[in-house]
């Protein structure tokens, strides 16, 4: 009984909102750091600086389509009743830039899409709108306004334009723009390093058969989730169920990591020593900040500081491990990436296929669900198996957050946070 009383000395349930507030206020040690990244390899990275154009895009006028470069004054009165004949002086293609070619009154030049515009021309007549009378004469039967069918210098981007703002997550189309601006490298936020420590003498490393042992799969789920959300992962290993070994693993992880995550060993059992280790290592300016969150999945989660580094204690049941990571660690990770203190999980509005009844009083229900498409919308099927069942998690696409005391009937709407954008590839029709 003494050991259980000791473990409960830190444990006190607080709301998810209060937990997030404490994390945000306590974990201010690391501001986003910048590093140079090759532009062609910066997909998914976060910009650490504003991108201001040093050149115009395009840097010269060119034809927006195949046609004939004309002076609009020559064709201002052109119509079917008053056709205008122009002499074709030559032709231009994209590789001809830069060019000294020019036309005078009564002349035109054929220009391929992307070709430079000859001096003296201020519009392009589409090929299909010109009638070829001879090899050297076209007939024009319509007027054109200046700059018609021409891409003008700086039309896309003007020099000194703000092109991409700081803290922008870089997408494929952004890379195309950066390359067009001739930027070989950009400054991006350094990826936070997330150290993962599993706790439990019953665990063994993957691919090493050992009788009566459990494979340390949770660490690889959390490491993969961290990487999916733009972090680097460091799997530190397995700590035995002692304060000394847990402390040793945490102390070894702290200099390498920006965020430390422990899995299991943080409940209120006789051999749950992670809170003790965190308090021991915390010193005068760290230790346990909170232990216990009013969630049905992740209730024994906790947070502390070790060597100035944020440390998140996650429960050992895999469903709770993942839910707590998504709700508590992701906001911190995104803040270190300059993306704001929020989880940024995709949210899908679904129709519940089964009723959901209130859980324990005062505890927010974290309900794993499998989603599918039907009738142009999404449906959610609650996963009823225990949170320790790995296959249950593998079948789920996300979870619904249902406030304490709330009851939902089948057919009602519910917001589902999906684990990542990858989930949409596994959502089927029904």
- Cα gap 407→359, rounded to integer Å: 9
The sign of the torsion formed by the CA atoms of 371, 373, 375, 378 equals positive
Average pLDDT over residues 3-31: 80
Q: Do the beta carbons of residue 213 and residue 204 sit within 8 Å?
A: yes
Q: To the nearest whole percent, how much of the chain has pLDDT over 70?
A: 97
Please tell me which residue, 391 or 428, carries the higher pLDDT value: 391
Per-residue confidence at 1, pLDDT binned at 50, 70, 90? very low
In angstroms, the CA 1 to CA 4 distance is 5
Q: Dig out the tokens for 251 from the structure.
A: 């102390």
Over residues 115-119, mean pLDDT: 98
| Range with the poorest average pLDDT among 268-277, 337-346, 379-388 | 379-388
Lowest-confidence range among 7-21, 99-113, 308-322?
7-21
First-to-last C-alpha distance (Å) of the chain:
52
Number of neighbours of residue 307 by Cβ within 10 angstroms: 18
Average pLDDT over residues 205-219: 87
Average pLDDT over residues 377-390: 86
Q: What is the mean pLDDT of residues 292-298?
A: 95
Domain ranges for the chain = 2-32+191-336, 35-57+155-189, 62-151, 347-425
The CATH code that applies to domain 2-32+191-336 is 3.40.980.10
Tell me the mean pLDDT in the region 255-273. 94
* CATH 2.40.340.10 at 347-425, yes or no: yes
Say what the alpha-carbon torsion angle 175, 177, 181, 184 is, to the nearest 10 degrees: 0
Q: What homologous superfamily does CATH list for 62-151?
A: Molybdopterin biosynthesis moea protein, domain 3. (2.170.190.11)
- For residue 328, the 8-state DSSP code is I
Range with the largest mean pLDDT of 1-10, 20-29, 307-316: 307-316
Q: What whole-number distance in Å separates Cα of residue 417 and Cα of residue 335?
A: 19
30, pLDDT greater than 80: no
Tokens of 157: 């981007």
What is the predicted pLDDT for the residue at 120?
Answer: 97
Which CATH code is given to the segment(s) 35-57+155-189? 3.90.105.10
Q: Per-residue pLDDT averaged across 271-278, rounded?
A: 95
In eight-state DSSP terms, residue 8 is T
The proportion of the chain whose per-residue pLDDT surpasses 90, expressed as a percent, equals 83
CA contacts within 13 A on the Cβ side of 5: 2
Residue 61 pLDDT greater than 60, yes or no: yes
CA angle 28-226-41, nearest 5°? 100
């Amino acid at each position: 009984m003494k050991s259980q009383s000791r473990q409960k000395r830190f444990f006190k349930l607080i709301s998810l909102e209060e937990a997030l507030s404490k994390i945000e206020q306590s974990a201010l040690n690391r501001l986003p750091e910048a590093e140079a990244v090759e532009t062609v390899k910066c997909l998914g990275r976060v910009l650490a600086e504003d991108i201001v154009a040093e050149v115009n895009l395009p840097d010269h006028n060119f034809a927006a389509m195949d046609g004939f470069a004309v002076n609009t004054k020559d064709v201002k009165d052109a119509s079917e009743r008053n056709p205008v004949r122009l002499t074709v002086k030559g032709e231009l293609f994209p590789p001809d830039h830069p060019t000294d070619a020019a036309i005078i009154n009564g002349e035109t030049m054929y220009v391929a899409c992307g070709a430079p515009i000859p001096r003296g021309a201020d519009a392009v007549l589409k090929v299909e709108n010109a009638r070829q009378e001879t090899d050297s004469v076209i007939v024009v039967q319509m007027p054109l306004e200046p700059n018609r069918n021409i891409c003008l210098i700086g039309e896309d981007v003007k020099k000194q334009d703000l092109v991409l703002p700081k803290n922008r997550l870089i997408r494929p189309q952004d890379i195309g723009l950066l390359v067009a601006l001739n930027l070989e490298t950009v400054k991006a936020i350094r990826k936070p390093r997330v150290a993962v420590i599993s706790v439990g003498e019953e665990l063994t490393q993957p691919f090493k058969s050992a009788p009566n042992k459990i494979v340390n799969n949770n660490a690889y789920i959390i490491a993969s989730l961290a990487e999916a959300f733009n972090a680097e992962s460091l799997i530190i290993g397995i700590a035995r169920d002692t304060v000394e070994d847990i402390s040793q693993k945490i102390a070894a992880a702290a200099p390498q990591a920006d965020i430390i995550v422990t899995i299991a060993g943080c409940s209120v059992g006789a051999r749950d020593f992670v809170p003790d280790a965190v308090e021991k290592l915390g010193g005068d300016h760290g230790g346990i900040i909170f232990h216990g969150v009013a969630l049905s999945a992740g209730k024994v989660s906790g947070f502390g500081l070790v060597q100035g580094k944020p440390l998140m204690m996650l429960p050992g049941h895999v469903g709770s491990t993942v839910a707590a990571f998504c709700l508590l660690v992701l906001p911190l990770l995104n803040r270190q990436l300059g993306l704001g203190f929020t989880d940024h999980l995709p949210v899908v509005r679904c129709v519940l296929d089964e009723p959901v009844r209130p859980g324990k009083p005062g505890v927010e229900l974290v309900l794993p669900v499998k989603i599918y498409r039907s009738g142009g919308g999404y449906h959610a099927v609650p996963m009823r198996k225990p949170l320790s069942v790995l296959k249950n998690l593998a079948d789920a696409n996300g979870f619904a957050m249902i406030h304490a005391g709330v009851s939902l009937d089948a057919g009602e709407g519910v917001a589902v946070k999906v684990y990542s954008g990858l989930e949409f590839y596994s959502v089927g029709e029904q």
